Amino acid sequence: MKAVVLVGGEGTRLRPLTYDLPKPMVPICGKPFMQYQLELMKDHGIDEVIFSLGYKSSAFEEYFGDGAGFGMKIHYIVEDSPLGTAGAIKNVEHLLDDSSFLVFNGDILSRMNLTEIMNFHKEKKSACTIVLTPVDDPTMYGVVELDSNSGIVNFTEKPKKEEVRSNLINAGLYILEPGILKRMEPARKYSIEREIFPAMLADKEPMFGYSYSGYWMDIGTPFKYLSSNHDTLTGKMPVDLNHREGIVYGKNTDISTNAVLTAPLWIGDNVIIKSGAKIEGPAVIDRGCIIGEKTKISGALLWEKTKTGNGCILDSCLIGRDCNLGDNVKIGKLAVIGSCNIIEKDRIIEAETCI
């Protein structure tokens, strides 16, 4: 089965990090988020993927190439202007055939059992299967109501609070029959959630919801993106990190014997941690970072080649690549520092500030 991955969004809520990298390419424990999705597909026998791209499209091709290095065939289709979540699918029609295909939203970290979902789709003779997950506040999502046979009876994108009648939401994965493409003209903007799903329901097409209750995280905000790194470290997001007592060490690290490291941690290749530094997990110090003497880091995420001075205090913050922090810099919880910033010594950056 082929998979279409929708990755045309600008990732505005993850700015300034997404000024440097598109959201699906931001690292989770040293590896682009999108690689986790591709590995999940590969595990379930999907080896042909079509990326539907817009914003910062070249970052994908530079990293994944033609896919051969990942045991896959990858196509890249770039939109001149955003065609919406359904227009983007119509736009790759020439790469699809007359069989069912998968569509992924490009910002969901999960361990869905794709094989089971594909079997469910076949058994139900479904025209459109939507994977569903329960959430506490469904108003930010597409909300789905089911009948007793898992048939979808209603789909409402981002309903008002008073309209919510279910806590099951669209988890961002569909299996579609190719007939859906007949509902659209080429080169026009369509939303699958607001236009196509409601139209299919009105036409009584067989649509089913597959309920998924495993790990699911939309990585779209600083809190959720940091949480997805923490969850990967703690094992809540079940992937094998090959750690030693909760700490993943890269190659050629230089960690002072006077530094105190508390698991779970991910430390990339060539990281230097100087004397008296304290790193408290869950935290990610990506490749080539240098941590100064007596610097305290707890819960933070540092992208590659960022350097801290001595005596800094970094609380659960997110720092892009190639930043340079002077001595005694303090950065508060969920502050986001974009790549290539220089922060002068003694500066205090309050929680939730973006720079």
Among 20, 218, 231, 286, binds ligand GDD (CB under 6 A): 218
Distance CA 126, CA 268 (A): 45
Give the angle subtended at the CA of 84 by the CAs of 160 and 207, to the nearest 5°.
65
> Which contacts qualify for 113-120: CB closer than 8 Å, 24 or more apart?
113/44, 113/214, 114/40, 114/41, 114/43, 114/44, 114/46, 115/44, 115/45, 116/210, 117/173, 117/175, 117/210, 117/212, 118/1, 118/44, 118/175, 120/208, 120/210
Among 85, 110, 232, 295, binds ligand GDD (CB under 6 A): 85
Kind of pairing, strands 31-32 and 142-146? unpaired
Judge whether 302 and 321 are in contact, CB under 8 Å.
no
**The two structure tokens encoding residue 214:** 């495993």
- Contact between 193 and Mg ion (CB under 5 A)? no
Judge whether 308 and 285 are in contact, CB under 8 Å.
no
- Contact between 83 and ligand GDD (CB under 6 A)? yes
Stretch that binds ligand GDD, among 121-129, 167-175, 268-276, 320-328 (CB under 6 A): 167-175
Annotated active-site residue in 73, 122, 158, 345: 158
Q: Which is nearer to Mg ion, 37 or 100 (CB)?
A: 37
What three-state secondary structure class fits 60? helix
Place of tokens 């997950």: 133
Packing angle of the helix pair 33-43, 114-123 (nearest 10 deg) = 60
Site for ligand GDD in 190-209 (CB under 6 A): 193
- Contact between 82 and ligand GDD (CB under 6 A)? yes
Residue 178 beta carbon to ligand GDD: minimum distance, rounded to whole angstroms = 18
Whether residue 158 lies in the annotated active site: yes
Among 107, 177, 195, 231, binds Mg ion (CB under 5 A): 107
Stretch that binds ligand GDD, among 3-11, 145-153, 175-183, 324-332 (CB under 6 A): 3-11
Binding mask 21-60 for ligand GDD (x = CB under 6 A): -------------------------------x-x------
Distance CA 236, CA 11 (A): 24
Stretch that binds Mg ion, among 106-114, 229-237, 286-294, 331-339 (CB under 5 A): 106-114
**The two structure tokens encoding residue 175:** 């299996």
Site for ligand GDD in 62-81 (CB under 6 A): 79
Q: Which is nearer to ligand GDD, 141 or 266 (CB)?
A: 141
Q: Which is nearer to ligand GDD, 11 or 309 (CB)?
A: 11
Give the angle subtended at the CA of 63 by the CAs of 61 and 66, to the nearest 5°.
50
**The two structure tokens encoding residue 118:** 């594909």
Among 9, 67, 264, 268, binds ligand GDD (CB under 6 A): 9
User: In the complex, which residues of this chain contact Mg ion (CB under 5 A)?
Assistant: 107, 220
Supply the residues annotated as catalytic: 158
User: In the complex, which residues of this chain contact ligand GDD (CB under 6 A)?
Assistant: 6-9, 52, 54, 79, 82-85, 88, 105-108, 141-142, 157, 169-170, 172, 193, 218, 220
